[in-house]
Structure 1
Amino acid sequence: MPLATPPAPPIVRNAVTASGLWRAYGSGEAQVVALRDVSVAFASGAFTAIMGPSGSGKSTLMHCLAGLDTTDRGTVNIGDTVLTGLGDKALTKLRRDKIGFIFQQFNLLPTLTAEENILLPASIAGAKADPAWVNRVIATLDLSDRLSHKPTELSGGQQQRVACARALATRPDVVFADEPTGNLDTRSSAEVLGFLRKSVDDFGQTIVMVTHDPSAAAYADRVVFLADGQIVRDLHGPTADSVIDTMRDFENAVPLAGKAA
């Protein structure tokens, strides 16, 4: 009896790929090298956290991946599109169409309602967000009864949930989250992180998050650790304890030669 052909391994598509990234600030003795020949890929439909000590280059890496900062050398791809070297107009269009952002400071417009803030990226693009999709995101984030409220009428956790809904409203290829729970209390942090986890599991969203919090990183599928502008560890299936242990190990072992945000 012939042996059955084993199933082919699943094809992993990368939402973001970086190759040989270098980024330095300043010159001469004052120069700080933020990224040193960093190559890394982030799988589509996965939740990845980026961690490292203060000055490790984690925020610089995310900003380069998202097209918010330039690189000195190396390339960044968003899907099949080469981001590196794009002109301002093309880069703006790429960020608008393919990338969502969640920031620590929420960055909501105070004169707009929650609903208007959520729909703003589509409005700026001259497009109309899919109502069914937006309603699903709003319901998942439990914002249905807060849509007419302005940011000053919302709690910090509610404001960040509005920011999450805004980031996902256009169904971007990838959402970059920069310390999204940094200004939240424990309960609000858990709500936001739970939604990010759910957006990956239920919606197939790709999330890349910079954080300093081991408990936040434990929501991710994978944690990439940086020190001195280089990737020093790649941890899959993280727990808060395993993240703490990893941070302790390499902080003791890797001397930092320079500081970068």
Structure 2
Amino acid sequence: MPRTAPEETSGTGTRAVTAHDVVKVYGDGDASVAALNGVSMEFASGTFTAIMGPSGSGKSTLMHCLAGLDEVTSGSVVLGGTELVGLGDKQLTLLRRQRVGFVFQTFNLLPTLTARQNITLPLDIAGRRDTDPSWRDRVVDTLGLRDRLDHRPSELSGGQQQRVACARALVTSPDVVFADEPTGNLDSASGAEVLAFLRMSVYELGQTVVMVTHDAGAASYADRVVFLRDGAFVDEMADPSIERVLEALKSLEG
């Protein structure tokens, strides 16, 4: 039987996102594949959690369900107090736009826009004025981008581009920032820099970060690691170290 993740009580004490008995099945009949098998877990506000597991464990599927990018087959997902199950496409689009931030492996910056324009793009798309420039300035300064705001992506290093992507994810002050293998296209030095900034966004800006990664080094920046196998929650680790995470992954793959 899969374990049930205990209630997460660190951070501010409030829950940024909660999954309860989430099942995700792709396909029908004999061709159906269960990517998630009754996953339940909570993510407290103001914490940094890494989701890990062997290939095919369901970690990316779980993140997509938590972020409202994929519809669950059954179960419940509550993000910032809003139940996602049952929301229409328009409602989900608005929720993601206003209350969720995303950082992807491939940066996804628009090449014709400056760093400043890429950062404020979510506000422009949502038709929201930059009503809190002090927050935007705080994000920019925390990520060390002040002297790069007028540069286009082609004029930035990979690490700088990912920092711009992080700032874009943070500029709306979302309930949760979801990061999908955010260091996958970076060298080790740039990757460490981006992970340090994600961690800083939690401790200095009060953000909540949920990151999918296969990298034990990346996971060591998190407050907590949750492990999946065969679509089920199987274990978790507080205050992870690279060595402990590697040992846990070995036991999952053994």
Q: TM-score range by the shorter chain?
A: over 0.9
Q: 2: CA distance between counterparts of 1:85 and 1:107? A: 29
2:76 equivalent in structure 1: 75
Structure 1: any 5+ residue segments left out of the alignment? 1-8, 253-261
1:3 equivalent in structure 2: none
Structure 2: any 5+ residue segments left out of the alignment? 1-9
2:137 pairs, out of 120, 135, 145, with 135
How far apart are 1:29 and its partner, in Å?
Answer: 3.4
Alignment of 1:13-162 (within 5 A): 13-129=14-130, 130-162=132-164
Q: 1: CA distance between counterparts of 2:96 and 2:149? A: 25
Pick closer, same or farther for the CA change 1:57–1:126 going to 2, 3 Å.
Answer: same
Task: State the Cα deviation string for residues 220-249 of structure 1 (Å, max 9, x = none).
Answer: 000000010001111111111110011111
How far apart are 1:28 and its partner, in Å?
Answer: 3.3
How far apart are 1:183 and its partner, in Å?
Answer: 0.3
Secondary structure of 1:161's counterpart equals: helix
CA RMSD of aligned residues (A): 1.3
Q: Which moved more, 1:205-214 or 1:151-160?
A: 151-160
1:243 equivalent in structure 2: 245
Task: State the Cα deviation string for residues 69-117 of structure 1 (Å, max 9, x = none).
Answer: 1111011001211111101111111111111000011111111111000
How far apart are 1:27 and its partner, in Å?
Answer: 2.7
Q: Report if aligned partners of 2:54, 2:252 keep a CA contact under 8 Å in 1.
A: no
Pick closer, same or farther for the CA change 1:34–1:10 going to 2, 3 Å.
Answer: closer
2:199 pairs, out of 179, 197, 218, with 197
1:217 pairs, out of 201, 212, 219, with 219
Pick closer, same or farther for the CA change 1:10–1:179 going to 2, 3 Å.
Answer: closer
2:6 equivalent in structure 1: none
Among the aligned pairs, what percent are the same residue? Answer: 63
Q: Report if aligned partners of 2:47, 2:208 keep a CA contact under 8 Å in 1.
A: yes
Secondary structure of 1:42's counterpart equals: strand
Q: 1: CA distance between counterparts of 2:32 and 2:243? A: 35
Task: State the Cα deviation string for residues 104-143 of structure 1 (Å, max 9, x = none).
Answer: 1111111111100000001111112321111111112111
Q: 1: CA distance between counterparts of 2:13 and 2:135? A: 25
How far apart are 1:31 and its partner, in Å?
Answer: 2.1
2:208 equivalent in structure 1: 206
Q: 2: CA distance between counterparts of 1:190 and 1:142? A: 14
Q: 2: CA distance between counterparts of 1:173 and 1:140? A: 18
Q: 2: CA distance between counterparts of 1:185 and 1:10? A: 30
Q: Report if aligned partners of 2:11, 2:47 keep a CA contact under 8 Å in 1.
A: no
Q: Which amino acid aligns with 1:57?
A: G
Corresponding pairs, count: 244
Secondary structure of 2:164's counterpart equals: helix
Secondary structure of 2:68's counterpart equals: coil
1:229 equivalent in structure 2: 231
Instruction: Report the TM-score when normalising by structure 2.
Output: 0.93
Q: 1: CA distance between counterparts of 2:95 and 2:86? A: 12
